[in-house]
Amino acid sequence: MPKFETRRLVNHSPQRMYDLVADVERYPEFLPLCEELSIQSRKERDGKTLLVAHMTVGYKAIRETFTTQVLLNPAEQAIDVKYIEGPFRYLDNRWRFEDAGEGKCAVVFFIDYEFKSMILGAVMGSMFDRAFRMFAEAFEARADKLYA
């Protein structure tokens, strides 16, 4: 099933990159295919934040909404996304932000997913694959814009 992992060295601190990715409400402003994102619940505990978010993605005439659980862990500079419901059979997404010295950061992005419908997978699959590959670039460009 589709899986993608990348490690990108960026000219921003791990904290800045973590903060940027953790600000999920802003995704529709710059993330490929993301048309809408809303937070359904937010719980704080032991320095971590657990969100339940609805995200609507679109490509041409197709729109799909799915729900995920997002665990924000600032102490470990990690974000873990687990699938709850929507058009996927499963979706697993992880972000890590590693100090690379001199104010730089290695951003590690991993995603593994499969659509429930073979037809939807065929129609959206190649676009999703391309979009997920552009995600890391979109976050880096956003950081450059915000923190330049």
pLDDT digits (tens, 9 = 90+) for 24-53: 999 999 998 899 999 999 999 999 999 999
How far apart are the C-alpha atoms of 41 and 92, rounded to whole Å? 20
Mean pLDDT calculated for residue range 13-29: 96
pTM of the predicted protein model:
0.90
Mean pLDDT calculated for residue range 1-21: 91
Residue 65 confidence (pLDDT) above 70: yes
Categorize the per-residue pLDDT at 1 as very low, low, confident or very high, splitting at 50, 70 and 90.
low
Identify the pLDDT of residue 18: 97
CATH superfamily of 3-147: START domain (3.30.530.20)
- The 10 Å Cβ neighbour count of residue 87 is 17
Mean pLDDT calculated for residue range 66-93: 96
Categorize the per-residue pLDDT at 129 as very low, low, confident or very high, splitting at 50, 70 and 90.
low
CA angle 103–109–113, rounded 5-degree value: 170
What would the 3-class secondary structure string for the chain be? CCEEEEEEEECCCHHHHHHHHHCHHHHHHCCCCEEEEEEEEEEEECCEEEEEEEEEEEECCEEEEEEEEEEEECCCCEEEEEEEECCEEEEEEEEEEEEEECCEEEEEEEEEEEECCHHHHHHHHHHHHHHHHHHHHHHHHHHHHHHC
Phi/psi for 65 (5° steps) reads -115, 140
Identify the pLDDT of residue 128: 67
Domain ranges for the chain: 3-147
Residue 131 confidence (pLDDT) above 70: yes
Q: Who contacts 116 (Cβ-Cβ below 8 Å, separation ≥6)?
A: 87, 88, 89
